[in-house]
Chains A and B, each alone.
Chain A
């Protein structure tokens, strides 16, 4: 049995909240800069230029990159040698609470979807638990903005719709979203599983490192084709036209029922804020 102190979990989450709000990951910046170089539309270029300038300023002056500091999404991969004598989810929520307060971040969560009273500390976080081998707790955090989340979609296609059906649904989602999800986007696509698994696949897809590619050759082909097709749509940065509609497409797949072809598209805006932490269990 290995243990991780509760305060370490709280501290790690607090740091991820504070860090991700102001520091955009280097890979995202590099992709934005590459897009700026290849973009030819003047207005699109100007938008990309300001997005790049914004992340510089945010980092330098520690101002949040975007006023929407999101709903807190946290994936916890828990090593099977770990033992917790406290509520891990509550510890993560405490880290979120502290981070959003200390960082002067926007509290964007209401306690009930219809009653809509702000919880004032940005909790509860959306918490996903996964068991892994070993003695580590791996945390992956994203403050997920409402704009891009609102334009995300899921459909239960039929097996006959096939690859073309999936691609059509993804392209349609991008066009319907237009400027609202703040393109250029990272497009997370989940195919297969069932209703809830598919949504989770798409969410996991936007957590993948920006530079990686799908391992499954079918998914990889879909990523490459969709990347070209989405950027040919002409939506452009903030929907104002141009060739930079997405920075990357990530496809995650899973087995599914003989009757189903679920597809989910989770959109990540250009303010693609993520942070990660690894805590190792210790003997007590």
Chain B
């Protein structure tokens, strides 16, 4: 299986092809509905967002709380489509890789192609397996959002599938 180091270089990103199953090692930033809303609000107010976007991956997840001596609880992906309007703004700011599950809107796909960005998916509902790939989780921003806060995850062999590639490939097209 293909391996991907995160943060991700432009060459590596552009080499990703729809349908490829990959294993990611490195850094993922978590963020889902409320974190996206807040990130976009900060950008609109010209404030500095709490995470970098260039080369980074945002993973749509709201994990279960970590038990003592564990970095994280179950942590599978949530649906990507709810982030569509926010992703347009974040891609504009340099975000090029997102991980979620399920199909996205046409507006998102068009912008994704224009930005040569990539949408990866994880398998939904295998949060226990995915927890095993997370070595460390540190809180970065919005602690008041609880499971929806932004965490920086250090992952090893985190499994994902390329759903939309930079060349317009779409795994859901049948």
Contacts and interface: CB of A to CB of B under 8 A. Distances in A.
Interface stretch (B46-54, B67-75, B87-95): B67-75
Interface stretch (A12-20, A101-109, A247-255, A259-267): A101-109
Contact of B147 (A108, A145, A180): A108
Nearest to A241: B174
B76 interface: yes
Interface stretch (B6-14, B108-116, B118-126, B150-158): B118-126
**Residue among A46, A106, A150 with the highest chain B CB neighbour number at 10 A:** A106
Contacts of B76: 66-68
A139 B61 CA distance: 31
A9 interface: no
B62 A108 contact: yes
Given A108-B147, A239-B172, A53 B101 contact: no
A67 B79 contact: no
Contacts of A271: 125
B128 A238 contact: no
Interface string A59-82: 001011111110000000000000
30 contacts: A43-B19, A50-B129, A50-B159, A51-B126, A57-B132, A63-B73, A63-B131, A64-B74, A65-B125, A65-B127, A66-B124, A67-B73, A67-B75, A67-B78, A68-B62, A68-B127, A106-B62, A106-B147, A107-B147, A118-B146, A147-B102, A178-B103, A179-B102, A179-B121, A179-B124, A182-B124, A237-B123, A238-B121, A238-B123, A269-B125
Given A54-B127, A269-B124, 9 more contacts: A50-B126, A53-B129, A57-B132, A58-B128, A63-B128, A68-B78, A106-B74, A107-B147, A178-B102
Interface of A: 43, 46-47, 50-51, 53-55, 57-58, 61, 63-69, 104-108, 116, 118, 120, 145-147, 150, 178-180, 182, 234, 237-241, 269-271
